[in-house]
Amino acid sequence: MPLSITPLSETIGAEITGLDLCVCAVESALAQVRAALRDHLVIVIRDQRLDPRQLLAALRLFGETMEQHLTSTLMPEHPEIAVLDSRKMPPDKEGQVIPFGARDWHTDHTNHPRPPKLTALYAVKLPSEGGDTSFANMHVAYDCLGADEQARLGQLRAVNKIEDFAYISDEARAKFAARPVHPLIRTHPDTGKRALYVHPGKLERIQGMEPEESRRLVNELVERVITPANTYRHRWRIGDLLLCDNRAVLHRAHRDYRMADGRVMHRVILRGEVPV
């Protein structure tokens, strides 16, 4: 089957078929896939059959894998892989059980000095219905802002922290205790385009503002700029390997499924640059 790349919406996402990452992919095909990721920001490579070693080998074609701090989810034999299994989700301090990635729109691991450029999700097991993930193009969102607001937001810098969840060990919280400061609006290193860049759950504060004021600003902004015009909702299939560009995309998992059914994703993140 020849390689085929099909847009999934007008503003974000593309589906790729005819590529088997279990075998040695030719460089010309990989160049097309990398270009699709650059242009569409989210790609889903269909019908993959990858064991953990094959998954890591495939993703290293796109960059360097990096450490995750979701301690209790890490695969013992391959700790670069986090196994996100809805059946094993522990309650938070309020006693709520909320699926991984479902609390808010976010980009991953902003509490790292060099956050991931890409997040990869590989669908291993799915519930009988629901469990989609939505993605939002933050280049389009930024471009829709007025010039004055773009200039104002471009001056803001966010202080980021690790979250205090049961699936993060005390050792990981100590190891990643630094408070890296990243711009609220970052520039993509490959295209020069600007985008809103934030993880509300990891936001300690915006420099020069109190924490509560910072959260209000960010929550209002995210709610306002994410619209049907710049989003794509992905309905998963077993064997989907999805890559998301964290430098220009916010994403959110949906809670509309029975967690006991088992929604299992293998997640790998690839090291990025210091945001500017």
φ, ψ dihedrals at 263, nearest 5°: -115, 110
Give the model's pLDDT for residue 124: 97
What would the pLDDT profile of 56-73 be if each residue is shown by its tens digit? 999 999 999 999 888 889
What stretches of 154-252 show up as alpha helix (H) in DSSP? Answer: 170-175, 211-225
Instruction: Render pLDDT for 184-207 as a digit per residue (tens, 0 to 9).
Output: 999 999 999 999 999 999 999 999
Judge whether residue 93 has pLDDT over 80: no
For residue 47, being part of any structural domain is answered with yes
| Residue 43 located in a structural domain | yes
Q: What percent of the chain has pLDDT over 90?
A: 83
pLDDT at res. 102: 85
155: confidence class by pLDDT, cuts 50, 70, 90: very high
With respect to residue 21, please indicate whether it lies within any of the assigned structural domains: yes
Is 276 part of a structural domain of the chain? no
State residue 253 phi and psi, 5-degree precision. Answer: -80, 145
Question: Quick one: pLDDT band at residue 263, thresholds 50, 70, 90?
Answer: very high
* pLDDT of 57: 95
What residue numbers bound the domain in which 22 lies? 4-271
* pLDDT top residue among 260 and 27: 260
Looking at residue 222, which CATH number applies to its domain?
Answer: 3.60.130.10
Quickly state the pLDDT bin for 177 (edges 50, 70, 90). confident
Rounded average pLDDT over 162-170? 77
Indicate whether 211 belongs to any domain. yes
Q: How high is the mean pLDDT of the chain?
A: 94
**What letter does residue 178 receive in the DSSP assignment?**
-
Work out the pLDDT band at 24, boundaries 50, 70, 90.
low
2-28 mean pLDDT = 91
Give CA angle at 150 (146, 119), nearest 5°: 115
How many whole angstroms separate alpha carbon 103 and alpha carbon 9? 24
Domain count across the chain: 1
Long-range contacts made by residues 16-25, C-beta under 8 angstroms, separation at least 24? 16/43, 16/44, 16/45, 16/46, 17/46, 17/47, 19/45, 20/48, 21/45, 21/48, 21/50, 21/54, 21/58, 21/61, 21/241, 22/48, 22/49, 22/50, 22/54, 22/58, 25/61
Q: What is the mean pLDDT of residues 5-29?
A: 91
